Amino acid sequence: MATITREEVYPRLPALRTNEGLLSWIKTTDHKRIGILYLVFSGAFFIVGGLEALVMRWQLATPNAHVVSPEVYNQLFTMHGVTMIFFVVMPLLIGFANYFVPLQIGYRDMAFPRLNAMSVWLFLFSGILMYMGVLEGTLPNCGWFAYAPCTEHPFDAGAGSTFWAIGLIVAGAGSIATALNLIVTIIAHRCPGMTLRKMPLFVWMVLVNQFLIIWAMPFLTGAAVMLLFDRFLNTHFFIGPKSNPVLYEHLFWSFGHPEVYIMILPAFGMMSEIVPVFSRKPIFGYTFVAMSGVAIGFISFIVWAHHMFTVGMGTVPEAFFAATSAVIAIPTGVKILNWLATMWGGAIRWTTAMKFAVAFIPLFVIGGISGVMFAVVPIDYQTTDTYFVVAHFHYVLFGGSFFLILAGIYYWWPKITGRMLSEKLGNVHFWLTFIGFNLTFFPMHFLVGMPRRIYTYAPDSGWGPINMIASIGTVILFVSVLVFLYNAYVSLKKGDLAGPNPWNAWTLEWATTSPPAEYNFATTPVVRSRRPLWDEQHPESPDWIHEDNVTVPAGTPPSAVAPPVEDVKPKRFVPAQQLMLFFISSEFIFFCTLMVMYTVYSQHFTSSQLNIPLTAIFSLCLWASSGTMILSERRLRVDDKRGYYFWLITTILLGATFIAGQAHEYIDLYYRHYGLSTGPSTGGTVFGTVFFVLTGFHGFHVVIGLVALLIILFMSKHWSSKRDLPVTVVSYYWHFVDWIWLLIFSLAYLRTLIPT
Amino acid sequence: MSRDGRWKSGRGPCRERTLRSLGGWRGVALLAAFAAATTALALMLTSHGALAAGRNSTTPIGSGPSAAPLAPLHGASRFALDISNLFWIILAESGVVFFLVILALAINIVRFSHKPGQDDEPKQIYGNRRIEVAWTAIPAVILLVALVLTIVTMNAVNSPAHAASALKVEAIGHQWWWEFRIPKYHVVTANEVHLPVHTLVQVDTTSVDVIHSFWIPQLDRQIDATPNNHTIVYIDADRTGTFPGACYEFCGADHAWMQFRAVVQTPARFQAWARREAGAGASPASVQGANGQSVFFSQSCASCHTINGTPANGTAGPNLSHVGSRWGIAGGVLPMSERNLERWVRDPQIYKPGALMPAFDLKKSDLHALAAYLYSLK
């Protein structure tokens, strides 16, 4: 089965004219064009988010200013955060990943080009959705984190928070789709010889990042879904006498802290590409640089509550999160030191890309140091939600991520456009950005004491002059953006031609034309080391001698003792299977958020009203359907079509029986008044909230599984022992919805049998 | 792809031409159009706010009586001092780290920049395991020290000795004002709390609506006031004075004006204040005041506000028994004065859009009388 390719399963669609005009950009599935779309759309959002910042700084420049009303100011800071995080930094990095991952791994496109196209349009439309509220006059206005209950209906009756939740659910779907796509592309389509140990560091960091996305996003989706239920269906997740709004904070930051690394890891990867090229040396300590990224990825999932040190969690949990937060500083520091060591002994070329990359180091260290200070819990008590924090995260995200994004733009622009950017204008751009950035954000460190998110302040607060300086810095940043746009315009019109490898760099994207042809490489490249182009230019001392510890006997050319090129194709699963398995892991996290809420709130009710024996019978149907699905697949593999039909239809009927059982149960509970918002006792409201949402979402997934099975059934004439991949992939999903029910059934039903 | 040779030629990666010849008029026009568009957008964004603000652009918002600024690093209680000492220790430690990084970077820039005529690639160095282990281990040790200091200070701040005998104060967050209760003295007040010096005070915080955050930067650590939850902080002021506090968690439209004052006094003065605060509101001493009181009861004021010793016992809004003695109105949005009370009652929504208090369209004489009565409640 592993020998079957996608093309064999799905005959190619009739060729479309894809090379001309605006329409070609809309229907494109070329990863490079999609990458450009990501960059252009996020550039547009950057302008919007930047203007929002400009207005905010205008308002804050002087005390008691009346540039905007408090309501508008709150919308501005919310949308500035939401825009910059979800619609600028994240998609810019994803755009670069889209464009350069296939090139760097020597493949012709992403693993799933059409899914890729879907992702970019989901991203654009989710951004537009987020701004939809402007038609009604209420953009989201409770901060990018949208803490409940501030976003609950009684406190925010406008449409803003609704658009926030829906926009981020859609954006999350797009991000997860593209993350799955990148993971599978990197795992399944690296060129021969590119083992994980020889992968470019940008690809490494993108890979780690996509795992963060698929495992962190579901927390946000869960929180947003619960918020929507609260707002529209009167559930009581985060509002009401038994609710605990702190749970929202936990859910949000379980996503929110990995998100911080989602916004920096690929930028670290860019740094690890740019610094070696312009220092003319290989990266120092490749393994440590790559593995520190992996370590950051793992640890980022256990540090979330350091955003919540003022919640009053108690000393023990606070000490735990202080420790993990301190630990995550270590791999980050290792990276900084390795970049410094890479420069050491080099011959540094001060291109604009290198200037931005090097400026990143002190700026990120300042942000990192203030970050470590927040890990020292008592300091966090005294600085959180003040402008000290605003200074900190702008040093990390602007001085960190965004400086590297700018470095990446200058580095890869010639590859994307085929033309050079002006170094002279680049120099002006760099210095304006560097000065403007520091003028804006360094003074904010001295505003410790000034609360964040206030629309104005009193004249006797003493904050006026510092705020004025910061506002002047913002104007300089604004000018720097204009200089860059001018530079880009000039370059596109009449920039110098770049040629395939203007920087004399070493990774595979520089081995093809600028811009690359639609198929990327005329022949599939073969690599033996991390710097294939170095090997080609220096046959006397190729990198693989050091990487593989090869001893070259004196007098022989290294090529005579070159080790064989390793085949890196995964043996066990084909891309579609990988996609489904990783998707299931993401779905599992989503169910975990629901199950956690159920567990926490179950202290407020008894579920004695549940008919456990009856539900057990229906559950047995569901679990049995998992077995019949396996039988169906087995029959198909021996080309027994009748057996296949029999067991597949049995599976569908068993699944439908389960849904019918659930419907019966819901109707029964409904007539006994266990609704979402009303109930026989106050406990009923909490029970209704968590029970119906948890089991309802499972039922919803079963229905989706049934629809997928029906599609498989109706397309049955295509399937045979040689073409069973779609059946296999759908069966994975079906097994997942069957067996996640075991957890839910145990939690919601069986657990009530245990006497307390 | 043969070696490109750009570096070897000693030239920059691209030739430069003058700025003017590069862009031409079309570039300038594009830039101008962009600048015009952004300005228009900015004006559009701001016009809504400008309109709203135009109504009250002359009002003295927020210019309450001066107090020390919100300054967490100028501690006036042992807990705040513990923390600011830790802050300086960690800052010094961080300063050393930052200095070393900058030093390494400076050496890199000075010594290892490409020099003209340096044609060959530098020596290719791939890494060094020993160095890597060292610079993984050294930061770990530094961070371990910081962690130990963290835990020690956390314990000192969060679990002081003799906590059980502390004076208990309740701080309850409302959109957008603070209610303070001192059960021992039957005090219920708002936006201004008095505390005894050199006395351990336990503040129990909660909220009736959204999440707020309670903080007097010079006296205590920040703590969230969350609905359905109770959180505790301790204060042990070591000098008398007036210390500003504020809500630090975003809590809606008027988060900026949810400030309060903590007045630290000698225990004797504190007790005098507490007794007065728990007592009845002053009876009107003038005809105008008496008129104001009858306005107070003829309007719906009493359904939301309490004045001790009168039938007014509403609890949705701040207790007004001694409102005239407080430092400001409505969380600092206006300084306390008779004139400002009048402004506030007439249309609170100008000053605090979204506040629960409705506007009162009263006759001018009634408004004067009501403000005079409220201001006399010292």
Contacts of B324-328 with C-beta under 8 Å, sequence gap 24+, read B324/B374, B324/B375, B324/B376, B324/B377, B324/B378, B325/B377, B325/B378, B326/B189, B326/B190, B326/B191, B326/B192, B326/B261, B327/B64, B327/B65, B327/B67, B327/B191, B327/B192, B327/B242, B327/B261, B328/B64, B328/B65, B328/B191, B328/B259, B328/B261
pLDDT at A685: 76
Our CA-based measurement puts residue B310 at a distance from the nearest CA of chain A, in whole angstroms, of 31
Are A351 and B13 within 8 A, CB to CB?
yes
Please, are residues B232 and B203 in contact by the beta-carbon 8 Å criterion?
yes
Of B3 and A188, more confident:
A188
ipTM, two decimals: 0.90
**d(C-alpha A299, C-alpha A481), whole Å:** 35
Q: How confident is the model at residue B38 (pLDDT cuts 50, 70, 90)?
A: low
Measured between CB atoms, does B163 come within 8 Å of chain A?
no
Please, are residues A696 and A689 in contact by the beta-carbon 8 Å criterion?
no
Q: Which residues of A148-172 are buried (b: 16+ CB within 10 A; e: fewer)?
A: bbbbbbebbebbbbbbbbbbbbbbb
**Which residues are CB-neighbours of A348 under 8 A, at least 6 positions away?**
A278, A279, A280, A354, B108, B109, B112, B113, B114
Are A423 and B14 within 8 A, CB to CB?
yes
CA dist B369 → A572, B282, B372 (Å): 86, 15, 5
Please, are residues A55 and A103 in contact by the beta-carbon 8 Å criterion?
no
A·B CB contacts under 8 A: 382
Our CA-based measurement puts residue B185 at a distance from the nearest CA of chain A, in whole angstroms, of 27
Task: Using the predicted structure, report yes or no on whether residue B3 has a pLDDT greater than 90.
Answer: no
Interface test with B, best of A201, A376, A533 (most B CBs within 10 A): A376
**What angle, 0 to 180 degrees and rounded to 10, lies between the N-to-C axes of helices A315-343 and A286-299?**
160
pLDDT at B50: 40
**Which residues are CB-neighbours of B58 under 8 A, at least 6 positions away?**
none
In order, the DSSP letters of A535-583 are: HHH-TTS-THHHHTTPPPPTTS-GGGGPPPPPP---SS--HHHHHHHHH
Mean pLDDT on A277-291: 96
DSSP state of B274: H
Q: What percent of chain A has pLDDT over 70?
A: 96
User: Residue B62 CB: number of other CB atoms within 10 A?
Assistant: 23
User: Encoding tokens for residue A361?
Assistant: 């180091």
Q: Strands B192-196, B201-207: parallel, antiparallel or unpaired by DSSP?
A: unpaired
Task: Using the predicted structure, report yes or no on whether residue B34 has a pLDDT greater than 80.
Answer: no
Please, are residues B304 and B357 in contact by the beta-carbon 8 Å criterion?
yes
**d(C-alpha B65, C-alpha B63), whole Å:** 7
Using CB atoms, which residue from A366, A423, A456 is nearest to B98?
A366
CATH 2.60.40.420 is held by the domain B287-375: yes
List the Cα angle B71/B72/B74 in 5-degree steps.
75
Task: For residue B261, list chain A residues with Cβ-Cβ distance below 8 A.
Answer: none
Using CB atoms, which residue from A330, A463, A541 is nearest to B136?
A330
3-state DSSP of B15-61: CCCCHHHHHHHHHHHHHHHHHHHHHHHHHHHHHHHHHHHHCCCCCCC
Please, are residues A278 and A348 in contact by the beta-carbon 8 Å criterion?
yes
Q: In 3-state terms, what secondary structure has residue A395?
A: helix
Of B29 and A72, more confident:
A72
User: Encoding tokens for residue B29?
Assistant: 């026009």
Interface test with A, best of B28, B249, B259, B356 (most A CBs within 10 A): B249
* Mean pLDDT, chain A, whole residue set: 92
- Chain A, window 555-594: residues with a beta carbon less than 8 angstroms from a chain B beta carbon: none
Task: Using the predicted structure, report yes or no on whether residue A633 has a pLDDT greater than 50.
Answer: yes
Task: Using the predicted structure, report yes or no on whether residue B23 has a pLDDT greater than 80.
Answer: no
Mean pLDDT on A519-543: 93
pLDDT at B33: 66
pLDDT at B65: 47
Measured between CB atoms, does A384 come within 8 Å of chain B?
yes
Residue of A nearest to B40 (CA): A51
User: Encoding tokens for residue A653?
Assistant: 């009927």
Rg value, chain A, Cα: 28
Measured between CB atoms, does A334 come within 8 Å of chain B?
yes
Task: Using the predicted structure, report yes or no on whether residue A260 has a pLDDT greater than 70.
Answer: yes
Task: For residue A455, list chain B residues with Cβ-Cβ distance below 8 A.
Answer: 255-256
Please, are residues A473 and A53 in contact by the beta-carbon 8 Å criterion?
no
Q: What percent of chain B has pLDDT over 90?
A: 66
Are B94 and A373 within 8 A, CB to CB?
yes
pLDDT at B27: 56
Measured between CB atoms, does B117 come within 8 Å of chain A?
no
Q: Is the CA virtual torsion A665, A666, A668, A669 positive or negative?
A: positive
Give A710-721 pLDDT, tens digit per residue.
999 999 999 999
Our CA-based measurement puts residue B52 at a distance from the nearest CA of chain A, in whole angstroms, of 6
**d(C-alpha A705, C-alpha A693), whole Å:** 18
Using CB atoms, which residue from A282, A449, A537 is nearest to B72?
A449
Please, are residues A193 and A565 in contact by the beta-carbon 8 Å criterion?
yes
**d(C-alpha A544, C-alpha A562), whole Å:** 8
Residue of A nearest to B39 (CA): A51
pLDDT at A751: 86
Are A147 and B127 within 8 A, CB to CB?
no
Task: Using the predicted structure, report yes or no on whether residue A608 has a pLDDT greater than 80.
Answer: no
pLDDT at A479: 96
Of A270 and A671, more confident:
A270
Mean pLDDT on B316-341: 92
List the Cα angle A385/A387/A388 in 5-degree steps.
90
Interface test with A, best of B112, B152, B157 (most A CBs within 10 A): B112
Lowest mean pLDDT of A750-754, B52-56, B209-213, name the range: B52-56
Interface test with B, best of A309, A385, A546 (most B CBs within 10 A): A385
Give A319-376 pLDDT, tens digit per residue.
999 999 999 999 999 999 999 999 999 999 999 999 999 999 999 999 999 999 999 9
pLDDT at B9: 37
Supply the pTM of this predicted model: 0.91
Q: In 3-state terms, what secondary structure has residue A649?
A: helix
pLDDT at B202: 96
Torsion angle in degrees (nearest 10) through CA of A725, A726, A732, A737: -170
Measured between CB atoms, does B232 come within 8 Å of chain A?
yes
* Mean pLDDT, chain B, whole residue set: 84
> Which of B239, B194, B195, B245 lies closest to B216, judged by CA?
B245
CA dist B118 → A107, B7, B15, B112 (Å): 36, 9, 20, 11
Task: For residue B80, list chain A residues with Cβ-Cβ distance below 8 A.
Answer: 382
Task: For residue A501, list chain B residues with Cβ-Cβ distance below 8 A.
Answer: 1, 4
Are B253 and A74 within 8 A, CB to CB?
yes
Are B150 and A64 within 8 A, CB to CB?
no
Our CA-based measurement puts residue A547 at a distance from the nearest CA of chain B, in whole angstroms, of 9
Q: Strands B187-190, B177-182: parallel, antiparallel or unpaired by DSSP?
A: antiparallel
Mean pLDDT on B193-218: 95
pLDDT at B177: 95
Give A100-145 pLDDT, tens digit per residue.
999 999 999 999 999 999 999 999 999 999 998 888 888 999 999 9
Are A382 and B84 within 8 A, CB to CB?
yes
CA dist B134 → A575, B8, B100, B138, B140 (Å): 41, 37, 15, 6, 10
Q: What percent of chain A has pLDDT over 90?
A: 80
Show the DSSP H helices in chain B as ranges: 19-54, 78-112, 129-158, 267-278, 287-298, 301-304, 338-346, 348-351, 364-376
Interface test with A, best of B15, B16, B46, B142 (most A CBs within 10 A): B46
Our CA-based measurement puts residue B291 at a distance from the nearest CA of chain A, in whole angstroms, of 34
Mean pLDDT on B210-217: 95
Task: For residue A462, list chain B residues with Cβ-Cβ distance below 8 A.
Answer: 69
Measured between CB atoms, does A616 come within 8 Å of chain B?
no
Please, are residues A603 and A247 in contact by the beta-carbon 8 Å criterion?
no
On the question of a cis peptide bond just before residue A204, with omega within 30 degrees of 0, the verdict is no
Q: How confident is the model at residue B76 (pLDDT cuts 50, 70, 90)?
A: confident
User: Residue A750 CB: number of other CB atoms within 10 A?
Assistant: 13
Instruction: Kindly report the backbone phi and psi dihedral angles of residue B108, in degrees, each rounded to the nearest multiple of 5, phi listed first.
Output: -55, -45
Rg value, chain B, Cα: 30
3-state DSSP of A332-369: HHHHHHHHHHHHCCCCECCCHHHHHHHHHHHHHHHHHH
Measured between CB atoms, does B290 come within 8 Å of chain A?
no
Of A159 and A47, more confident:
A47
Give A427-472 pLDDT, tens digit per residue.
999 999 999 999 999 999 999 889 999 999 988 888 999 999 999 9
Task: For residue A66, list chain B residues with Cβ-Cβ distance below 8 A.
Answer: 49-50, 53-54, 56-57
pLDDT at B58: 41
Are B132 and A334 within 8 A, CB to CB?
yes
User: Encoding tokens for residue A219?
Assistant: 């927390």
Give B93-138 pLDDT, tens digit per residue.
899 999 999 999 999 999 999 998 888 899 999 999 999 999 999 9
Of A133 and B47, more confident:
A133
Measured between CB atoms, does B30 come within 8 Å of chain A?
yes
- Chain B, window 170-189: residues with a beta carbon less than 8 angstroms from a chain A beta carbon: 175
Name residue B192's beta-bridge partners. B261
Q: Which strand (E) or helix (H) includes residue B177? A: strand B177-182
First to last CA, chain A: 51
Mean pLDDT on B74-92: 89
Are B143 and A385 within 8 A, CB to CB?
no
Give B299-322 pLDDT, tens digit per residue.
989 999 999 999 999 999 999 999
Give B271-305 pLDDT, tens digit per residue.
999 999 999 999 998 999 999 999 999 998 999 99
Task: Using the predicted structure, report yes or no on whether residue B46 has a pLDDT greater than 70.
Answer: no
> Which of A165, A23, A151 lies closest to A82, judged by CA?
A165
**d(C-alpha A369, C-alpha A588), whole Å:** 35
Are A310 and B213 within 8 A, CB to CB?
yes
Mean pLDDT on B24-41: 60
Tell me the helices (H) and strands (E) count for chain B, helix number first: 9, 12
Task: For residue A541, list chain B residues with Cβ-Cβ distance below 8 A.
Answer: 124
Q: Strands B241-247, B212-215: parallel, antiparallel or unpaired by DSSP?
A: antiparallel
Task: For residue B92, list chain A residues with Cβ-Cβ distance below 8 A.
Answer: none
**Which residues are CB-neighbours of A303 under 8 A, at least 6 positions away?**
A257, A321, A324, A325, A328
Of A290 and B117, more confident:
A290
Q: Where are the domains of chain B?
A: 13-116+126-158, 287-375
